Every structure is written in C-alpha cells, then in structure tokens.
C-alpha cells in the first residue's frame, strides 16, 4: 500500500492539518499544529536525509545561517533542551559582543561580555535536530518525496478540503484531505497560481532587490589559529564599499565563510578568485584567517536574494482552511539573518490564532485564514523595514521605495550605530534590536535619544572613524 493511501486511512478519524514543505517554517508550524490537531502531515518534495545533509530543496543551507537570539529562544520553548543538544553536537556558544567581532559602517563595534549569546551551528544541523524532535510526536507523519501540486476546495469553493499530491511515479496523482493546509513551500511557492486556478485573486507583491550575491566555502578551523574572537562580520560601507563577509564557527571545528557583494558586485564562484575577493575587503582579517585554512567544500553560490513580500493579508478573498507562512509569504535579503526567526515568530502567531479560534468555537476554522495573515503581516513589518531600509542605502537597489518614516528611521539608526561604536550600553541595545529581542523603538530610550541629539547638535570629531579598520579591537 502506498504511503499516501496509508495516510488517508490514518487520518480518517479526527482533525487533520497538512503542511507543505519541511524546511524551517514548515517544521515550526508542524510543532504548533501537533498541539491543536489529531493528525498532522508534513509533505516534502525531497527525500529527507537521516543525518544533517544537504538536500535539493534548501540550497541556502550551504551558506551561513545565523539563528538570531529571539529565534533561538522561541525554538527552545518549542523544543525544550534543543540548545543542549546542539551543544552536545559541538555547536559553539557565541557571545555577540565578546566573541563576534563586527566591522560596521562606522568602524569596529566594541568588544565586551554582553548579555546576548547564541549557539552557532550549521543550518543543516539545526533543521535536522528540529525534524528529529518532531518524529517523536505520534500524531505527526512526514511524507517525503511527495510534491504538492494544487488545492481542492469544497462544493461551494469557499473552503480548502484537500491537497493534490504527486509522489513516486510522476504520472500518479493523489489527494489527501485536510481541515487546514499550511503553505510553507518557500520563495518559489505555487500558492498564488493555485489560488488563481480556483478562481481566487492572487496576492500583490512588493519586491526590493539590492542584487546581493553570496559565495560560501567551508573550512577546517586551523588548529593553530590565534585570535580572541570566534566569529567575524564585515558589513558593506555605502556608498562605495559593496563587499562584506562572515566567518561563522560551527560544529565540528569548522568555519562557514560567506563572502557577499551588493549592487551586482557578485562574489566569485571559483576557488582561486574566492581568496582574491576576500583579500579585497576593507580589512585583511578574513583573508588572513582563511588563506592557509583547509577547505572542506567547493564554493557554493547564491543570488536569489531579493526581499519579496506576497500580501496575503490584503486579499479580499481567500479560501478558509488555508494559511501561508515563512518565505512563501515574505523572503528577506538574507544578510540580516531574519528568515528563520521570522518563521519562528510566525509559528508562535499561528499558535495564538489557533488558541483564540478554538476558544471561541472549538473545531471551527472559519476566519482563521484572514486573522492569521493579518497578524503575520504585522510581525513582518519590522524585519521588512530593517532589511529594505538597509538595502536602499544603495542607488542600485530596485523596487518599492521606502516611505519618509523609514528614511527618517534609517538616518536615526545611523546615528545610533555611530554612538554604539563608542558606547557599550548602546551597542548592547543595538544587538538586541538586530536579534529581534527588542523592537527598534528601543533606540528611542531617553538615554540613547539624548546622546543622539547631542551628537547631531554638536558632532564630535568622529572618533569612530579614526578607529583603524585593519585590526579587530581588543576585548575589554
């Protein structure tokens, strides 16, 4: 009997939620759904590896993936003990001010023991650990090598009732009934097309493209490597310096080294030029660190990095029993590391919406779609503003222009960043905002606002700019 037929029988009794896509957004949604539905199925086009291995559907996993502190906290609530598991697997702890050296626009940020640490690991390990945790839920089943190819609605065409699936033999199409369908199929989601096929409008999109490219290579961390930092980030410096880099320490004493270029200054995809690009950065530290390090991988390239928001929240009509989340709704320029954390926030929002929904009318999903998409859109506003306003520092960026409020925030943010170079308390707030622990309004706390105003009214001889960019500052 095929796995699909078996599943159809298993879900015949009780409520059923079906998730399309088993990457981070789909997995986190599934974690929420097991608490609300009798049965949960996650369908995934790829074969799912038994170990942390790369797969076709998530090519981004070959690149540096930073799970921001907010995302880490949410994942730990969903999967208690996950951080300890990652630690056991060798993922190092990174204190975001002491261990992670950050060369920003105005110079190096200060290095001190902040109260913000994260667990640094590869995206492959994280996804695998989360998936493994989910296999412990008896009401959840994965259907790997199964592709969703469309939706079916009820007779009134107002409610999704099943998903059309293709697995194994490509000529074989099947259906799996579901009370709730979650589209978490990523940037290339077919949901807009499926909606049109059903006679529904498809969502409008906002796209902001800074033409950013990534090239990543994995290295063995040199045994004799001498530095008092564990990870390092070099940001771009508008208007001219379009090149950035990250050295990210992960389990197995490895470094994931991502070189990036904005405004079509794409980093090379071949091995020899990779080092030359690293040498051209505004600090030699990345080049010095990797030039003699042992590479463990080829150079992986990625260029599909535009910010893209599908506005499901604005649709006048959408069938009931359907929600979209993760990159399928909003994918960000990855440089700011917001995707997985936003997916986690989306999953928490789904939890809240389902609790509210079932509290007022048990088992009734009417209204969930609209409520969820609106609440999700609210969550997306801040990361979207943060990512796109940074992108619009570059004249080469194309797409919907930021409003005057966003531009004002950008200018104010510049002043906060300058202040943060010289004040540890401001840098602490700065990283808390970047890690989505605090909202950007934290920059308007009286103690910061007063100093920003002072800095604007009476500019210092810009101390920060005098800090040499060549060397990482010492840890204080």
Ligand X SMILES: Cc1cc2nc3c(=O)[nH]c(=O)nc-3n(C[C@H](O)[C@H](O)[C@H](O)COP(=O)(O)OP(=O)(O)OC[C@H]3O[C@@H](n4cnc5c(N)ncnc54)[C@H](O)[C@@H]3O)c2cc1C
Q: Which residues are at the interface with ligand X (CB under 6 A)?
A: 20-26, 43-46, 57-58, 60, 63-67, 147-148, 184-187, 214, 302, 326-328, 334, 337-341, 343
The 3-class secondary structure across 161-185, one letter per residue, is: EEEEEEECCCCCEEEEECCEEEECC
**333 or 415: whose CB is closer to ligand X?**
333
> Which CB atom, from 344 or from 452, has the smaller least distance to ligand X?
344
Least Å from the CB of residue 101 to ligand X: 17
Hunting for tokens 């730990």 — which residue is that?
Answer: 76
Query: Nearer to ligand X by C-beta: 91 or 426?
Result: 91
Task: State the Cα–Cα distance between residues 349 and 356, nearest whole angstrom.
Answer: 11
**Residue 95: CB minimum distance to ligand X, A:** 18
The distance of closest approach from Cβ of residue 21 to ligand X in the complex, given in angstroms and rounded to an integer, is 3
Rounded to a whole number of angstroms, the minimum distance from the CB of residue 351 to ligand X is 17
Q: What string of DSSP letters covers 262-309?
A: STT-PPPSSHHHHHHHHHTSSSSHHHHHHTTSEE-S--EEE----EEE
State which residue, 163 or 409, has the beta carbon closest to ligand X.
163
| Other beta carbons within 10 Å of 405 | 10
Kindly state the smallest distance separating residue 226's Cβ from ligand X, in Å.
27
DSSP 326: G
What's the min distance (Å) between Cβ of 62 and ligand X?
8
Half-sphere exposure in the Cβ direction for 337 (13 Å, CA): 23
Q: Which one, 303 or 423, has the nearer CB to ligand X?
A: 303
Say how far apart CA 30 and CA 34 lie, in whole Å.
6
Tokens 């159809």 belong to which residue? Answer: 8
Say how many CA atoms lie within 13 Å of 297 toward its Cβ.
17
Residues paired with 243 in a beta bridge = 261
**210 within 8 A of 391, measured Cβ to Cβ:** yes
The residue (of 339 and 413) whose beta carbon lies closer to ligand X is 339
Closest to ligand X by CB, 72 or 179: 72
Q: By the 8 A CB rule, do 344 and 71 touch?
A: yes
**Pure H helices in 312-361:** 339-360
45 touches 57 (CB < 8 A): yes
Q: SS3 of 319, please?
A: coil
Q: Which is nearer to ligand X, 286 or 340 (CB)?
A: 340
Distance separating alpha carbons of residues 236 and 249, to the nearest angstrom? 21
Q: How far is the CB of 65 from ligand X (least distance, A)?
A: 4
Nearer to ligand X, 250 or 467 (CB): 250
Q: How far is the CB of 469 from ligand X (least distance, A)?
A: 23
State the DSSP H helix or E strand holding residue 87, giving kind and residue range, or none if neither: helix 82-88
| CA-based R_g, the chain, Å | 23
**Least Å from the CB of residue 60 to ligand X:** 3
Residue 226 burial (C-beta neighbours within 10 Å; 0-12, 13-18, 19+): exposed
The residue among 283, 263, 277 whose CA lies nearest residue 215 is 277
Torsion of CA 381, 382, 388, 390, to 10 degrees: 170
Residue closer to ligand X (CB basis): 259 or 286: 259
The CB-of-31 to ligand X minimum distance in angstroms stands at 13
Cα–Cα distance, 236 to 246 (Å, whole number)? 11
Q: CB of residue 33 vs ligand X: minimum separation in angstroms? A: 15
CB 245 within 8 A of CB 257: yes
Minimum CB–partner distance for residue 147 and ligand X (Å): 4
Among residues 320 and 327, whose Cβ is nearest to ligand X? Answer: 327
Query: Measuring CA to CA, how many Å separate 337 from each of 260, 261, 341, 393, 435?
Result: 13, 16, 8, 18, 9
Which CB sits closer to ligand X, 47 or 407?
47
């Amino acid at each position: 009997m095929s796995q699909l037929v078996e599943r159809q029988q298993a879900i015949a009794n009780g409520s059923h939620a079906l998730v399309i896509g088993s990457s981070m957004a789909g997995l986190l949604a599934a974690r929420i759904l097991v608490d609300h539905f009798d049965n949960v199925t996650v369908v995934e086009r790829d074969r799912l590896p038994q170990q942390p291995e790369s797969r076709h559907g998530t090519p981004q996993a070959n690149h540096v993936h930073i799970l921001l502190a907010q995302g880490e906290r949410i994942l730990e609530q969903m999967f208690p003990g996950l951080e300890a598991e990652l630690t056991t697997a060798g993922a190092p702890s990174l204190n975001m001010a002491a261990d992670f050296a950050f060369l920003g626009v105005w110079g190096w940020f200060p290095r001190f023991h902040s109260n913000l640490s994260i667990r640094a690991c590869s995206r492959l390990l994280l996804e695998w650990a989360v998936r493994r945790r989910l296999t412990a839920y008896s009401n959840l089943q994965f259907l790997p090598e199964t592709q969703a190819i469309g939706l079916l609605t009820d007779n009134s065409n107002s409610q999704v009732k099943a998903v059309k699936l293709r697995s194994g033999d490509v000529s074989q199409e099947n259906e799996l009934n579901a009370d709730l369908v979650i589209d978490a199929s990523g940037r290339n989601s077919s949901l807009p097309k499926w909606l049109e096929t059903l006679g529904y409008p498809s969502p409008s999109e906002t796209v902001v493209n800074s033409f950013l490219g990534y090239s990543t290579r994995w290295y063995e961390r040199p045994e004799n490597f001498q530095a008092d930092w564990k990870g390092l980030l070099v940001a771009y410096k508008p208007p001219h310096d379009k090149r950035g880099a990250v050295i990210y320490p992960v389990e197995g004493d490895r470094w994931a080294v991502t070189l990036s270029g904005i405004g079509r200054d794409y980093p090379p995809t071949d091995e020899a030029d990779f080092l030359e690009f690293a040498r051209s950065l505004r600090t030699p530290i990345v080049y010095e660190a990797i030039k003699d390090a042992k590479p463990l991988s080829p150079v992986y390239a990625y260029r599909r990095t535009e910010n893209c928001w599908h506005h499901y929240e604005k649709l006048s009509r959408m069938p009931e029993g359907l929600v979209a989340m993760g990159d399928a709704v909003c994918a960000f320029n990855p440089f700011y590391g917001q995707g997985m954390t936003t997916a986690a926030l989306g999953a928490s929002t789904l939890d809240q919406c389902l609790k509210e929904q079932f509290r007022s009318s048990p088992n009734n999903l009417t209204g969930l779609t609209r409520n969820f998409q609106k609440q999700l859109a609210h969550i997306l506003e801040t990361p979207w503003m943060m990512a796109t306003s940074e992108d619009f520092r570059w004249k080469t960026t194309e797409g919907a222009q930021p409003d005057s409020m966003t531009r004002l925030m950008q200018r104010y943010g510049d002043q906060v960043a300058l202040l943060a170079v010289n004040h540890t308390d401001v840098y602490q707030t700065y990283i808390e905002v970047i890690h989505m622990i605090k909202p950007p309004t934290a920059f308007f706390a009286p103690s910061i606002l007063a100093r920003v105003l002072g800095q604007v009214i009476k500019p210092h001889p810009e101390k920060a700019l005098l800090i040499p960019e060549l060397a990482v500052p010492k840890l204080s």
